[in-house]
Amino acid sequence: MTEGNTTLIASLKTLPRAAWILFLGTFLNKFGTFVIPFFALYLTRQGYSMSEAGFALGAYGAGHLLASAVGGQLADRIGRRSTIVVSMVSAAICMMLLSQARTYPVLLALATLTGLASELYRPASSALLADLVSDQHRITAYSTYRLALNAGWAFGPATAGFVAEKSFFWLFAGDAASSLLFGIVAWLFLPHGVRTARTEAGWSFALRSIRANPEFLRCLIASVAIALVMYQMTATFGLHVTASGLSSATYGVLISLNGLLVVLFELPLTTVTRRLSPRRTLAAGYLLIGFGFALNAWARTLPALVGCILIFTLGEMIAMPVSAAYMASLAPPDMRGRYMGAYGFSWALALIFGPAVGVPLFSHNPQILWIVCGGLGVLAAIVISLTATPRTVPVPVGTADG
């Protein structure tokens, strides 16, 4: 029986206890993601230029890039749980050190280390969820995982926005505390997950497998394009909001609206999208994401900005659960950590270049930036539409492309 033929409640009831624990830990950690959404604002208020702020966010992205490779290999080699614990403890330490950085070179170095530590857990979490849940319930599992992420996103930045008005230091302290809390939950309650023999846990085996999987490669290209757009939410959207005469607290509320909408509507929406063609579902979502960001070129008032958020978030809710589950289905079980690390690598590339290019481009001409975002959404939709679903790979949706 496919997931598309079961009810949402029935699919949720099939999820194991360990999956729900992972969702809880993810929520706690995401709620405490206080610093990155406000990092550009923090740095400009410290006297750095917009370009310097953009490169600092790019340094965090460089750490994320390393984390995708290192975290994917660790997830397969030492186990999913151990990788999550190492990530969360080291992230807490790095975050507090970053709060004390007073020179730009030190700040860049610590931003890189913080990106590495903070993002090390992602391939392990994604791989563990695929370990725990069968193909036919994976869309529901990844939607619930995203619900946990976005529930934290819905309330965390709004809280952080008000904290930032008083003291940025407490953003760093709160971020570090939430990382430690997730690490404790993981250590006490999560299983190790699938582990691979040392001789087969290297990237050379996985890269040969990925090169022979054109479907996965094309999905990665589309992921890079759409991630370049989505990372503008934490790179330039805050600058756009404040340049429109609104406060940083308003920015916090706006990005929390994104998370709140996902919490309320994404799971119910998957009862429709899990029955549809994966390629067409992803293409439709990517187009809406690009269109929502492109409209920022003309949005200057709070109602107009809310409208942009609504369109972008609809696209996100359509595309992202299918994307994560689809990628996991393309990975051999013993390489799942590295495959999901490669998926994370595509987003890390975007985190490096998105802020580093987006912030200076915004400073030069905001309208061009938002129109480019629209073009990238179209590009991602075209790439994913040209991808043929391999018949030999199980796809966690009710209908395959034909």
Q: pTM score, two decimals?
A: 0.75
Rounded mean pLDDT of 357-385?
Answer: 93
CB 294, CB 376: distance < 8 Å: no
Q: What's the CA dihedral at 313, 259, 116, 39 to 10 degrees?
A: 90
Give the pLDDT confidence of 126-176 residue by residue, as tens digits: 889 988 888 778 888 888 998 888 788 767 777 777 777 777 888 898 889
Domain 14-385: homologous superfamily in CATH: MFS general substrate transporter like domains (1.20.1250.20)
The letter for the amino acid at 26 is T
Give the pLDDT confidence of 260-299 residue by residue, as tens digits: 888 889 888 888 888 888 888 999 999 999 999 999 999 9
Question: Can you tell me the distance from the alpha carbon of 245 to that of 97, in angstroms, rounded to the nearest whole number?
Answer: 33
For the chain, what are the domain ranges? 14-385
Question: Can you tell me the distance from the alpha carbon of 382 to that of 389, in angstroms, rounded to the nearest whole number?
Answer: 15
Give the pLDDT confidence of 88-127 residue by residue, as tens digits: 999 999 999 999 998 999 999 999 999 999 989 988 998 8
| Cβ partners under 8 Å of residue 295, min gap 6 | 304, 307, 308, 311, 370
